[in-house]
Amino acid sequence: MSTLFRNHSIFARVLRDKDLPILKTFEFNFFRCVNVEDWVFGKNVSDLHKGNLRDNNGEGRHSRLFPHEKISYWADDTSTALAEIKKHGGNKNYLTFMAYDDRSSTFPTLNTNEDLVIIDGIQLEFDKILSKIERNEELMLDEKKLINLIEHRKPDCLAYKSKAKKGGINFLFFEKGFNKLSIKKVKLYFGEKRHKNHNTIICADTSDYTPYIESYGKFFEPIAKVKTDRNYKTTDEYKFRSENYSKSLTKIQNSVSV
């Protein structure tokens, strides 16, 4: 049984690499918070989620370490994700994304059977390397070799200690790993005003991560109302997810009937 991270199922198997602390496993929940601005409203969940993968501008600490990678930042729970945006000047109006590795669903929609490949940067003290980058300090030769080795092994993500919350864990996702994530729910929360407003769009539910594909086409309006982008069902993404959902459903039905 797994006791790796608190956002990881204790029942998931874990395969370990001999040379680096690389783990191959599944059944995670990941959390990401972003502050609410006007661009949030009217944009469906599918497009909001795509915006979680950032082009590399070469300016941030992660971007400077991995200049050839698109990256996305996630955490082990909501409190860690909130602490991260607060550390960088965030306010109390925010979106919370909760994602899971699609392979863990009984009815996957992304057509991938691959476990997540995670480098345990906690053992490598990756947070200390990030701190050096923040202070514009030169990395030592062995630290540079480690970064090159990480790039060479092409993991899905890298886990490391959060500086914003004691005991919290952050997950730096690269594009390959990000493309294995599906959304469980997105919550909009307004906490700056006296009368707090909130609402939630659910894209998967139950312990089996049963997907509600049409929910990717829903969006928020300014007073935390939820509406539906009817054009989403005409998109290639919707058709792709629906096709894979149907295939996985058929497999379950056939296995039961045997």
Q: What is the mean pLDDT of residues 31-57?
A: 93
Comparison of pLDDT for 149 and 43, the residue scoring more: 43
Is it the case that residue 7 has pLDDT exceeding 70?
no
Comparison of pLDDT for 244 and 90, the residue scoring more: 244
Kindly give, in sequence order, each residue whose CB lies less than 8 Å from that of residue 164, ignoring residues fewer than 6 positions away. Answer: 80, 83, 84, 86, 87
User: Within a domain: residue 9?
Assistant: no
User: Within a domain: residue 2?
Assistant: no
Per mean pLDDT, which of 136-145, 175-184, 220-229 is the most reliable?
175-184
User: Within a domain: residue 107?
Assistant: yes
Q: Which tokens hold the place of 139? A: 């990395």
pLDDT in tens, 143-191: 999 899 888 889 999 999 999 999 999 999 999 999 999 999 999 998 8
Q: Which tokens hold the place of 124? A: 């490598």
Q: What is the mean pLDDT of residues 206-215?
A: 95
User: Within a domain: residue 125?
Assistant: yes
Share of the chain above pLDDT 90, in %: 61
Residue keyed to tokens 């294995």: 180
Per mean pLDDT, which of 63-77, 120-134, 139-153, 231-245 is the most reliable?
231-245
Q: Report the pLDDT value the prediction gives residue 118, as an integer from 0 to 100.
A: 93
User: Within a domain: residue 59?
Assistant: yes
Read out DSSP for the chain? ---S-TTB-TTS--EE-SSS-EEEE--BEEEEEEE--GGGTT--HHHHHHTTSBP--S-SHHHHHSTT--EEEEESSHHHHHHHHHHTT--SEEEEEEEEEGGGSSS-SS---PPEEEEETTTTTHHHHHHHHHTTPPPPHHHHHHHHHHHHH--SEEEEE-SSSTT-EEEEEEHHHHTTEEEEEEEEEE-SSSS-EEEEEESEETTTTEE-GGGGGEEE-TTS-EEE-GGGGGSHHHHHHHHHHHHHHHHHHHHHH-
Mean pLDDT of the chain: 88
Q: What is the mean pLDDT of residues 72-98?
A: 93
Q: Which tokens hold the place of 185? A: 């729910």
Q: Report the pLDDT value the prediction gives residue 194, as an integer from 0 to 100.
A: 57
Banded pLDDT at 2 (limits 50, 70, 90):
very low
User: Within a domain: residue 6?
Assistant: no
Domain that holds residue 174: 15-257
Angle at 65 between CA 172 and CA 48, to 5 degrees: 40
Q: What is the pTM of this model?
A: 0.89
User: How many Å apart are CA 226 and CA 234, to the nearest integer?
Assistant: 20
Length of the chain: 258
pLDDT in tens, 103-117: 999 999 998 888 999
Q: Determine contact, residues 225/190, Cβ cutoff 8 Å.
A: no
Q: What is the mean pLDDT of residues 44-49?
A: 98
Q: Report the pLDDT value the prediction gives residue 216, as an integer from 0 to 100.
A: 98
Per mean pLDDT, which of 55-64, 120-129, 162-171, 185-194 is the most reliable?
162-171
Lowest mean pLDDT among 5-14, 22-31, 38-47, 128-137: 5-14
Residue keyed to tokens 């994304």: 97
User: Within a domain: residue 5?
Assistant: no
| Structural domain count, the chain | 1
User: How many Å apart are CA 83 and CA 95, to the nearest integer?
Assistant: 13
Q: What is the mean pLDDT of residues 123-131?
A: 90
Residue keyed to tokens 């965030």: 90
Q: How many CA atoms lie within 13 A of 226 on its CB side?
A: 16
Residue keyed to tokens 């993991």: 155
User: Within a domain: residue 134?
Assistant: yes
